[in-house]
Amino acid sequence: MFEIIFLGTSASAPSARRNLPSLVVKHDDQRYLVDCGEGTQRQILQSGIGFKRLNRILITHSHLDHILGLAGLLSTYMRWETIDQLEIYGGKNALDRIHDLLYSVVLRGASAPMPIKFIPVTSGVIIEENDLTVSAFNVQHRGPDCLGFVFEEKGHKPFLPEKAEALGIPPGPWRRDLVAGNPVTLPDGRTIDPASVLGDYKPGTRLVVVGDVGEVDSLVDICRGADALVIEATYLEEEADMAREFSHMTAKRSAELALKAGVRSVYLTHISRRYREKDVIAEAQSVFTEAVVARDFDTFQVKHLE
């Protein structure tokens, strides 16, 4: 299961009710900050999630509305919070710009109070935990090295306790090893194969986060069957030409991607203050009935349903 906390949902500039782009993905005790628009550190405080273990930052691209908050966040870590190290993942162009921002503007020749690791990202797996992988994929937007991210739990075969009871397998290390997929020899000498007590394979929860993007036909396979999709909806279809000019999505086109890819839920963000929220919702839901337009501090749980 994942939890998504939207910290900023505005496009380009903040509005009275929406801050610049940023969200947190939580999985067990791990937390990942995706993008860091100006004022993100204040949004973190207002949301109540705090800064603990918030040291992995994934950047979709180098535009200022997605990275300027890193200056304030680093300042907060320097003065008020303690973390072991800060890891920033992104394309080369974004990392170069962030490096200049942090070292030339914030630190100005001083040393950071913690190691800062700049981790260049291309498509493929970038983080692998015991039961989770985070992968990056390329998207088309203005400028190089624009990315989206896939958060995916590893699938598993569930342990069936009723079968274990029927076979007389006692609690303890034998069941633990069977859950891990290893055959065991019981105290009575019998050898039990994991297939005897494990159910059918079940895929893990899958969440796709797309930043700013101007073309989505190439993303259908990446998004296919996802339990949730987070994607921008900067424009309405009445200004589709402007959306194409600036390499952004309309609410309708993002909803069409969700429908075509067969995702279960879609959350729209990067909302322009030029539109009324109800009009963005109406356009998206005319295509994907359950589409949601996220607001700052909205929290959603994402689970894989059979």
Pair type for strands 266-269 and 56-58: unpaired
Tell whether residue 61 is among the known ligand binding residues.
yes
Q: What is the DSSP string of 239-270?
A: GHHHHHHTT--BHHHHHHHHHHHT-S-EEEE-
The single-letter code of the amino acid at 241 is D
Phi/psi for 21 (5° steps) reads -60, 130
Residue found by looking up tokens 């994934």 in the block: 58
Tell whether residue 141 is among the known ligand binding residues.
yes
For residue 65, indicate whether it is catalytic.
yes
In order of 46, 116, 269, the CA distances from 74 in angstroms are 17, 10, 25
Q: DSSP 3-state assignment of 279? A: helix
Pair type for strands 2-8 and 299-302: antiparallel
Tell whether residue 304 is among the known ligand binding residues.
no
Measured distance CA(242)–CA(175) in Å, rounded? 59
Phi-psi region of 297 (alpha: psi -120 to 50; beta: other; left: phi over 0): left
Tell whether residue 66 is among the known ligand binding residues.
yes
Tell whether residue 27 is among the known ligand binding residues.
no
Tell whether residue 156 is among the known ligand binding residues.
no
Q: Choose the catalytic residue: 35, 65, 145, 296.
A: 65
Phi/psi for 213 (5° steps) reads -155, 140
Pair type for strands 184-185 and 147-153: unpaired
Answer yes or no: are the C-beta atoms of 305 and 276 closer than 8 Å: no
Pair type for strands 116-120 and 86-90: parallel
Tell whether residue 29 is among the known ligand binding residues.
no
Phi/psi for 76 (5° steps) reads -65, -45
Q: DSSP 3-state assignment of 222? A: helix
Q: Which residues are annotated as a binding site?
A: 61, 63, 65-66, 141, 212, 270
Q: Which residues are annotated as a binding site for Zn(2+)?
A: 61, 63, 65-66, 141, 212, 270
Residues marked as catalytic: 65
